[in-house]
């Protein structure tokens, strides 16, 4: 079942998968805190969340879900948007930071794959493939405009106050809405579209 099953069946593949998965989630959250700090909110810095130490970011339930189902989450980096120099720009830039971080990680992984040209299906090859796939998936998933995902806050930055309020009211139920839509397969085409857009951008940048 999930990563636990992979650990017993193929420990090598487990390590190659869990390391990029873990740090992709950590760097996603770190990017939010770093941009927020640059834009005037030092909450994440004062709480020690501007760190690459996974223990500062791991959520117990999210980590358990990750190992059981292969789908999990880290503790969201705390951001006080009222401290930002520009609330509207802050909503957009801070929320987009995690998506940009994942896209850059995917680009770096694919660039190294082209540059190094490792043996197909060897350890380096599989690590870079996993790194690229995981980060493209994370970036695409977080672009979905349903609270609490980043796409909803980016959308808020471009929206009126009334629409922002309506989206914010959905946040307590957002997780259940997302799980339900994923179960029904309704979000799959949207995720695939975002993955195609991100992959196309990366392809344009690669030599």
Active site residues: 29
Q: Burial-class residue 158 by CB neighbours within 10 Å (0-12, 13-18, 19+).
A: exposed
- Looking at residue 120, what DSSP letter applies? T
Gap between the Cα atoms of 120 and 100, Å rounded = 28
Gap between the Cα atoms of 205 and 99, Å rounded = 17
Q: Burial-class residue 55 by CB neighbours within 10 Å (0-12, 13-18, 19+).
A: exposed
């Amino acid at each position: 079942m999930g990563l636990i099953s992979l650990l017993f069946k193929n420990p090598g593949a487990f390590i190659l998968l869990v390391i990029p998965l873990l740090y992709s989630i950590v760097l996603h959250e770190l990017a939010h805190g770093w941009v927020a700090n640059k834009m005037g909110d030092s909450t994440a810095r004062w709480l020690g969340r501007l760190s690459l130490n996974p223990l500062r970011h791991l959520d117990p339930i999210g980590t358990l879900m990750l190992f059981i189902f292969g789908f999990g989450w880290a503790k969201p980096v705390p951001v006080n948007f009222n401290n930002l120099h520009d609330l509207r720009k802050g909503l957009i830039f801070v929320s987009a930071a995690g998506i940009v971080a994942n896209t850059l990680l995917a680009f770096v992984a694919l660039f190294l794959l082209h540059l190094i040209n490792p043996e197909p299906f060897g350890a380096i090859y599989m690590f870079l493939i996993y790194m690229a796939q995981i980060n493209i998936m994370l970036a695409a998933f977080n672009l979905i405009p349903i609270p609490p995902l980043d796409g909803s806050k980016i959308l808020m930055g471009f929206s009126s106050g009334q629409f922002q309020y309506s989206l914010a009211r959905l946040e307590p139920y957002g997780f259940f809405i997302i799980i339900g839509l994923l179960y029904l397969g309704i979000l799959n085409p949207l995720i695939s579209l975002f993955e195609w857009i991100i992959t196309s951008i990366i392809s344009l940048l690669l030599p």
